[in-house]
């Protein structure tokens, strides 16, 4: 039972880290798009 609880806790932590990383990347992409010079060709 303790092993199952440990696995569930690790999966939960992994999911939270995954969400943080994807949110950070999305914010970085948005910031990069907002601060680049427009292509006026």
pLDDT-derived band at 39, boundaries 50, 70, 90: confident
Phi first, then psi: what are they for 23, rounded to 5°?
A: -65, -40
- Please state the rounded mean pLDDT for residues 10-37: 95
- Give the integer Cα–Cα distance in Å for 12 and 4: 12
Report the Cα–Cα distance between both ends of the chain, in Å, rounded: 64
- Say whether pLDDT at 40 is over 80: no
From residue 38, alpha-carbon distances to 27, 34, 41 in Å are 19, 9, 9
> Considering the chain, what is the average pLDDT of its residues?
93
Q: What is the pLDDT of residue 36?
A: 87
pLDDT-derived band at 11, boundaries 50, 70, 90: very high
């Amino acid at each position: 039972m303790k092993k199952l609880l440990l696995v569930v806790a690790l999966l939960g932590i992994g999911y939270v880290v995954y969400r943080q990383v994807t949110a950070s990347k999305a914010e970085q992409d948005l910031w990069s798009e907002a601060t680049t010079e427009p292509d006026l060709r």
